[in-house]
Amino acid sequence: MNELVARARAIADEVLFPAAAEVDRSGKVPRSHFDLLAADGFYGIAVDEALGLPETVAILEAFAGGCLATMFTWIQHHGLTRGIYASTNEPLRERYLAELAAGRLRGGVAYAAVIPPTPKVRASRVDGGYVFDGEAPFVSGWGVIDLLQVAGRDGDTIVSAVIDAVDAPGLTHEPLTLVAAQGTATVHLKLADFFVPDERIYATVPYEDFVGGSAAFASRLNGCAPLGVADRATRLIEEAGQGAVADRLRKEIDDVRDRLDGGLIDQASMPAARVAAAELTYRCAGALVAATGSRGILAGSHAQRLVREATFLLVAAGRPEIRTGLLATFGKIS
Which of 280, 322, 288 has its CA nearest to residue 304?
288
User: Which domains, and CATH codes, for the chain?
Assistant: 3-102 (1.10.540.10), 107-205 (2.40.110.10), 214-331 (1.20.140.10)
Q: What are the CA-CA distances from residue 285 to residues 171, 172, 282, 329 (Å)?
A: 38, 36, 5, 17
The predicted pLDDT at position 211 comes to: 79
Bridge-partner residues for 172, per DSSP? 190
Q: What is the DSSP string of 251-299?
A: HHHHHHHHHHHHTTTSGGGHHHHHHHHHHHHHHHHHHHHHHHGGGGGST
Secondary-structure breakdown of the chain: helix, strand, coil percentages, each rounded to the nearest 5: 60, 20, 20
Cα distance between residue 186 and residue 172, in whole Å:
13
* Predicted TM-score of the model (pTM): 0.95
Say whether 169 sits in a helix, a strand or coil. Answer: coil
- DSSP state letter for 201: E
Cα distance between residue 156 and residue 139, in whole Å:
23
**Residue 223 in contact with residue 260, Cβ under 8 Å?**
yes
Cα distance between residue 67 and residue 33, in whole Å:
10
Angle, to 10 degrees, between the axis of helix 17-26 and the axis of helix 302-313? 70
Query: CA 28, 32, 35, 36 torsion: positive or negative?
Result: negative
Say whether 228 sits in a helix, a strand or coil. Answer: helix
**Residue 92 in contact with residue 202, Cβ under 8 Å?**
yes
Cα distance between residue 53 and residue 34, in whole Å:
22
Determine the distance from the C-alpha atom of residue 299 to the mean position of all C-alpha atoms in its chain, rounded to a whole number.
25
Say whether 158 sits in a helix, a strand or coil. Answer: strand
Cα of first residue to Cα of last residue in the chain, in angstroms, is 42
Mean pLDDT by 10 residues, the chain (334 residues): 92 98 98 98 94 96 98 96 95 97 97 89 97 96 97 96 97 97 97 98 92 78 96 98 98 98 93 96 98 95 98 88 92 71
The residues, ordered by sequence, that sit 6+ positions from 91 with a Cβ below 8 Å of its Cβ are 199
Q: What is the DSSP string of 72-140?
A: HHHHHHHHHHHHHHH-S-HHHHHHHHHHHHHTSS-EEEE-GGGSSSS-SEEEEEETTEEEEEEEEEEE-
Which of 258, 238, 239, 257 has its CA nearest to residue 248?
238
Determine the distance from the C-alpha atom of residue 40 to the mean position of all C-alpha atoms in its chain, rounded to a whole number.
20
Cα distance between residue 144 and residue 76, in whole Å:
12
- DSSP state letter for 16: I
Q: How many residues does the chain have?
A: 334
